[in-house]
Amino acid sequence: QSVAILGAPFSKGQKRRGVEHGPKAIRDAGLVERLSNLDYAVHDFGDLTFKHLEKDEHFMHVPFPRTVGRANQLLSGAVSGAVGAGHTCIMLGGDHSLAIGSVEGHAQHCPDLCLIWVDAHADINTPLTSPSGNLHGQSVAFLLKDLQNKMPEVPGFSWMKPFLSARDLVYIGLRDVDPGEHIILKTLGIQYFSMRDIDRMGIQRVMEVTLDHLLARKQRPIHLSFDIDAFDPSLAPATGTPVNGGLTYREGIYVTEEIHNTGLLSVMDVVEVNPTLGATPEAVEATTSLAVDVIASALGQTREGAHVAFPKIP
Ligand code: ARG
Ligand code: MN
Ligand code: MN
Ligand code: MN
């Protein structure tokens, strides 16, 4: 079993500085050692180097379209290469606009993939519905075939075409959805579990329905796109767009444990960790070590313990 770690120090999908330091902060919290302890061969591919494009005027009110488009094109190639080489791939962001390239690259090798988006936000604005213009709030709109005729041609993105069906996507953790996004979710009939749904159903039932929705017809590779702001800000304060009332530690870990148990996790993004935004060093440390915990859990670390190294009582 081998894991590829891909760092994507990129922040131009939103307006706050510092999220480009996410990959280093998550590595410094001990990621490689934790995964090695799980008996993986860990291949750390290091960080991608993103070009800063000089001439990159706004498209409508969307900043840095070509810079974000180019970064995602590069990332797509890297993810596609890692998946093609047989690794389970962990993409460390960076902001959530990077999911465009990550999911696209994954789909190059696994065209039948399904997508689980764990986030406070739906990130499904189009440039026409987006209140902020920020591309990290629009990633899903670039992926969905069902929105093709609602998406203008954004400069920087001509290298890709939407490929995902609305029925191949499930959201978990939503609690800050823009009006335009809500219309899209309802019109396309996208399966989502808001924090209210989690309150009502419990996380166990939410995961049961999620995996049933995506996998009942056939087993296929899972792309897990995990925005750290899905967690409650008391647990993950070092992030750019925190929203109160998020996932508890146990709910978040249950999500990743259940995904691991399918045996189908193929690529995981961990995004929006911004180590410059914690109020204290402890706040930053809490956020980065939480990121390591969800990754380890998605890759098979269990709360009940395991006996990989010693199959018999020594
Ligand atoms: N919905 C808001 C927007 O479109 C916030 C998006 C936040 N996205 C994120 N990946 N943290 O700007
Ligand atoms: Mn900096
Ligand atoms: Mn978010
Ligand atoms: Mn997000």
Sign of the Cα pseudo-torsion (177, 156, 128, 223, in order): negative
pLDDT at 107: 98
Write the DSSP symbol of residue 144: B
pLDDT value for 51: 86
Per-residue pLDDT tens digits for 143-163: 999 999 999 999 999 999 999
CA 61 to centroid of ligand 1, rounded, Å: 14
C-beta 175 within 6 A of ligand 1 = no
Q: Would you say the CB of residue 227 lies under 6 angstroms from ligand 1?
A: yes
The SS3 of residue 52 is: coil
Whole-angstrom distance, CA of residue 295 vs CA of residue 299 = 6
What local confidence, expressed as pLDDT, does residue 310 receive? 66
Average pLDDT score over residue span 212-225: 97
Three-state DSSP class for 42? strand
In tens, the pLDDT along 77-97 reads 999 999 999 999 999 999 999
Residue minimizing CA distance to atom 1 of ligand 1: 137
Q: Which of 58, 109, 60 is nearest to 83 (CA)?
A: 109
93-144 per-position pLDDT tens digit? 999 999 999 999 999 999 999 999 999 999 999 999 999 999 999 999 999 9
Q: CA 105, CA 243: separation in Å to the nearest integer?
A: 30
- The rounded Å distance from CA 58 to ligand 3 centre is 22
pLDDT at site 65? 98
CA distance to 121, 172, 230, per residue, from 198 (Å): 15, 8, 12
Q: Mapping DSSP to helix (H, G, I), strand (E, B) and coil, where does residue 305 land?
A: coil
Active site residue 272: yes
Q: How confident is the model at residue 263 (pLDDT cuts 50, 70, 90)?
A: very high
CA distances from 205 to 197, 211, 231, 297 (A): 10, 10, 19, 19
Per-residue confidence band for 69, with pLDDT thresholds at 50, 70 and 90:
very high
